[in-house]
A and B are shown apart, each in its own frame.
Chain A
Amino acid sequence: MASYEAVIGLEVHAQLLTKSKLFCTAAVENDSQEMNSHVDVVSAGLPGALPLLNERAVELAVRAGLACHCEINPRSRFERKHYFYADLPKGYQITQLSEAICKGGYVEIGEIGKKRRIRLDRIQLEEDAGQLFHVAKSTLVNLNRAGTALIEIVSAPDLRTPAEAKEYLKRLHSLLVHAEVSDGNLEAGNFRCDANVSVRRVGDPELGTRAEVKNVNSFRNAELAIEYEISRQIAVIESGDKVVQETRGWDAAGQKTFSMRLKEDADDYRYFPDPDQPLLKLSQEEIARIKREMPESPDDKAMRLKDEWGLSEYDVGQLISNRAVFDAVSTLIENGIDAPTAASWVITDLMGELKRRGVVDVEEFRMPIVTLASIIKLVSSGTISRSIGKSLLGEAIDDESFDPAKYVKQKGLEQISDDSQLQAWIDEAIQENPSQLEEYRGGKEKLFAFFVGQIMKKSSGKANPQLVSDLLKE
């Protein structure tokens, strides 16, 4: 059987963090329980209402472009894309096409030393459509979301595997969230992905026919959907058929893609420049100002953390890719804990505890970080041993109101640093394990740890390990 290569391009729609809509002065409100409560003349498509471009939306789009190393176009244009549908009151969407606000750019994926740049084609500003709800024999139209500001980030078809696609999405998501361009809320639909997937035989320079998988709403689903689609297309080709150019959806329950409609060769959208709007011009000064005002990018942050905080590359990677981790470490640092200690506790111990409890993608810690700070301080002050500290973590996760200091006192978990007590246990351990003692004296250095372990057992973990080591050595 011939071997195939997948070619994947992704289109991500991210909702911008603006108070009002892209061209309409109605408020943006994701959680509104009411219908059509956030609609005004422009987003309702009423005659005589003209598009009023939102300054903040432009700024955030530029930020996104800067974060992705794009070229910011000093002149860009809005176009009208025409089609009729119930969620589109004007009968056209205002979007961008050939003169989008950001051009080129890239998102880096891959391990250190094996980084790969996934190129972007462009980032464009556009309005979102409304929503339809089906009730009995009716379909109801809610235009609350219509006109909300979106950016569409279009990648080149540089991705080759579902895993890469997932990583690309996570990375892009992180970039946008860090830059405070979008809240990236996947459940709310503020970060949506469409995947264009095709396959070809390895070595074939031609691109295969592609299908578009629309609206995969989580990173995991994107990976699964693309994986499925690749297999499906290969199977189609192997059976002698041709892949059809079409739009497909992802059925999460059935774990497969399904055909939504045939993508006509080009739906004729009759694009033309929106005559209600002049060119959008951006000066170098404005772009520089936007750059100055934007939050630090993950890459810049990584450089800074490595230097300032003296963290390992791995730790820095964790901090960058996981906002919760970053926030937790920052909070610990604010509470007087040094960076490497903070990073170690969060990344190794805390995340470890959560994973042991079955949490796969750690996005929140389920315990107040100040509690963690207390635990760490109890350890670093010598009050308790590190291993006791670790066990306290588990308690804190399971009980919101956990008070470490109180608990330690109650259970008498204080570290034992009393020389005489420790010496007593050491003597005991040596007496009880003569053969190991012989071996150790004979050169088996490793057994040192064995003895430390024995003493820890005797002390129910409360012996001060450092002191034990010191005393043992003598």
Chain B
Amino acid sequence: MAQEFDIDILSKLAMLELQDDEKASLENSLNEILKFFEKLQTVDTNSVEPLFNINEESSIIRKDEVERIVTRDEVLRSAPQRSDDCYRINRVVGKE
């Protein structure tokens, strides 16, 4: 049962703007790839816990202390648009 997906919805979620030819080609390869996953459905995973981390031991929890690794400048120098000490974008309307 190959799942049908909607490439427009997906590309919107992923914030990727696709050209028509890109869309077609991606849609094709994605459909092919999805068939390839069908196999998995046949594996019996009843009462199997999913594995999300190899290390399932407790987190190395950090003490509540302040530590500086980089300076403000080192953070902001990678900003695509910068205004003094801030990241900058065109004025946003709507959601606060």
Contacts from A to B (Cβ < 8 Å): 18-20, 25-27, 34-37, 39-41, 44, 46, 52-58, 84-86, 132-134, 136-143, 215, 249, 260-261, 268, 270, 273, 275, 277-281
Query: What's the nearest-Cβ distance from chain A to residue B74, in Å?
Result: 9
The reply to whether B91 and A25 contact each other, CB–CB distance below 8 Å, is no
Residues of B within 8 A of A279 (CB): 53, 56, 58-59
A-B contact sample (14 more), CB < 8 A, given A41-B75, A86-B92:
A34-B85, A35-B85, A36-B86, A37-B85, A40-B67, A52-B62, A134-B92, A138-B90, A139-B89, A139-B91, A140-B87, A143-B87, A275-B52, A277-B53
Q: Are B63 and A35 in contact (CB under 8 A)?
A: no
B40 CB-CB contact with A under 8 Å: no
- The answer to whether A25 touches B90 (Cβ under 8 A) is no
B70 contacts A275, CB within 8 Å?
A: no
Q: Closest 7 interchain pairs by CB? A: A56-B64, A140-B86, A141-B87, A25-B67, A27-B66, A35-B85, A281-B58
Tell me the residues in window 73-96 of chain B with beta carbons closer than 8 Å to chain A beta carbons: 75-76, 78, 83-92, 94-96
Q: Which residues of A contact B1 (CB under 8 A)?
A: none
Asked if B21 lies at the interface with its beta carbon under 8 angstroms from chain A, I say: no
CA distance A52 to B61 in the complex (A): 7
Chain A min CB distance to B48 (Å): 15
Complex interface: chain A residues within 8 A of B60 (CB): 52
Does B68 count as interface, using CB distance less than 8 angstroms? yes
* B52 neighbours in A (Cβ, 8 Å): 273, 275
Chain A nearest Cβ from B75, distance in angstroms: 5
From A27, A35, A142, A249, contact of B96 by CB (8 A): A249
**Contact check: which of B69, B89, B95 meets A261 at CB < 8 Å?**
B95
Which chain B residues have a beta carbon within 8 Å of chain A's beta carbons? Answer: 13, 15, 52-53, 55-70, 72, 75-76, 78, 83-92, 94-96
| Complex CA–CA separation, A79 to B52 (angstroms) | 11
Main SS of chain A's interface residues? loop
- Closest CB in chain B relative to A64 CB, distance in Å: 16
Which of B70, B88, B95 is in CB contact (< 8 Å) with A41? B70
In the complex, what's the smallest C-beta–C-beta distance from B9 to chain A, in angstroms?
8
Instruction: Out of A85, A138, A280, name the residue touching B58 (CB < 8 Å).
Output: A280
B13 near A140 with CB under 8 A, answer: no
The residue that B86 contacts in the complex, of A41, A142, A277, with Cβ under 8 A, is A142
Question: Are A278 and B65 in touch, CB under 8 angstroms?
Answer: no
Inter-chain CA distance A56–B63, complex, in Å, is 7
Question: How far is the CB of A150 from the nearest CB of chain B, in Å?
Answer: 15
Give me 22 A-to-B residue pairs in the complex whose CB atoms sit less than 8 angstroms apart, sorted by A's number.
Answer: A20-B66, A25-B62, A26-B68, A36-B75, A40-B67, A40-B75, A41-B70, A46-B70, A55-B63, A86-B89, A133-B86, A134-B91, A136-B91, A138-B88, A139-B90, A140-B83, A141-B87, A260-B95, A260-B96, A277-B53, A278-B56, A280-B58
